Structure 1
């Protein structure tokens, strides 16, 4: 599907640019070299670039009105204490048998706005859009298991002072995933509209077939994106298991 431009095809205000990059090319290139290894970077990594991690923002202290009011939430009950802290701690841990991805996304678990925009098919449009919807920060983890199975998970957080950007971001992800031919989808339990998608038609580059699956969900001001790539079809249970566990972390 070609990109028609920065119009609002999904009805969300999001630019018509897909979050997929050149993962297929990276896997195919590795196969040609005889080192078939999956990677789910979703964009061309800027090798050697130093990225400054955005510091977590502290929760503002609000003055309490006089008189008896409701008791403040405990740290266990107040979700914002967790989400305003180190966002990387909310990412799923790598499996014990996981290996480093062929190309590690971001730097030290963080993605800058520029790096995140580069994961779209139209980086310039995506960059402008993410600024307009108050992109705050993004945490990322990635790994591979075996010779070809690879995973990337992103948690993208928005300030949400004027709009529900996390929900809009997920709706845009649904739009693109559902418009890919040969796609099956399932709802993610415990979410309002989170879904996983398995794409049964592979992308083929340099004679290598690469299958993919993805998941999109949101909670509060965080949009969750999960990507799986492999040289064989991705089972629904694989992407669903990751999605349910990652949503549970939020």
Structure 2
């Protein structure tokens, strides 16, 4: 065998072409305009549903019979109690029924009478009036108190005081204010009530007075000091209209709730 026969011949056959791999088809995308149009249709449908529901609700209400409102006046409180003929005016209130007329008269006449057996307080005001400088002198800082009272529009102070038992002293004050932008009597009473729960009176928050939305009475802890008798104190504060009410009660013996409460409620009943 010749040398040429022993050498393998090169394969001249062309290699097969690779199979064509098909490309992945691109995803089908919804046009942006179509998406926006769908969202817009949904929004419009929601608005139409809301407006339509509201319109239907109004229609139902319009078809219903109107409900009659309760009368503005309350039976038993109107004056006069019965309607008058056309053109006729009601008679003025009697003095005992006209609270404002009572307050404009002699304020001392509205003070509660001293109880039977009580003695006149020798340190009290003889004529039933308390001068403004004396009223302001009851405060820790009389000058500031007087300025504040004048700013509130204080008009006059009527007072009555008496002694009962061995050491009990009672004083009632009616402080009247002029008309203004605010109710000065309420402002003054609230300031006094705010002062009650101070350190000296830490155990006294007060209790409500009947017949008043804001009145309160207070029983203070006993004050003891060497060489002196025990001191018990009770107070009441309320206001009605342009009049502020103060009641002070002191004794060397314990003061009952009934004593201060009943006196304050009787005085309120006269205002």
Q: Is the 8 A contact 1:157 1:223 kept in 2?
A: yes
Structural RMSD (CA): 1.8
Q: Is the 8 A contact 1:136 1:159 kept in 2?
A: yes
The one of 134, 137, 143 equivalent to 1:118 is 137
- After TM superposition, give the deviation of residue 162 of structure 1 in Å: 2.4
Distance in 1 (alpha carbons) for counterparts of 2:113 and 2:226: 31
The one of 190, 204, 209 equivalent to 1:183 is 204
Please say if 1:71 is aligned against 2:90: yes
Q: Is the 8 A contact 1:101 1:143 kept in 2?
A: yes
- TM-score normalised by L of structure 1: 0.69
Distance in 1 (alpha carbons) for counterparts of 2:224 and 2:137: 20
Name the structure, 1 or 2, with higher relative contact order (CA <8 Å, separation 6+): 1
Q: Give 1 or 2 for the bigger CA radius of gyration.
A: 2
Going from structure 1 to structure 2, the CA distance change for 1:190 and 1:88 (only over 3 Å counts) comes to same
Q: Is the 8 A contact 1:164 1:221 kept in 2?
A: yes
SS of match in other structure, 1:200: coil
- After TM superposition, give the deviation of residue 203 of structure 1 in Å: 5.3
Stretches of structure 2 lacking an aligned partner (at least 5 in a row): 1-85
- After TM superposition, give the deviation of residue 68 of structure 1 in Å: 4.3
- After TM superposition, give the deviation of residue 160 of structure 1 in Å: 2.3
Stretches of structure 1 lacking an aligned partner (at least 5 in a row): 1-66
Q: Is the 8 A contact 2:107 2:158 kept in 1?
A: yes
- After TM superposition, give the deviation of residue 100 of structure 1 in Å: 2.1
More helix by share: 2
Going from structure 1 to structure 2, the CA distance change for 1:136 and 1:72 (only over 3 Å counts) comes to farther
Partner of 2:258: 237
- TM-score normalised by L of structure 2: 0.64
The one of 74, 79, 92 equivalent to 2:112 is 92
- After TM superposition, give the deviation of residue 102 of structure 1 in Å: 4.2
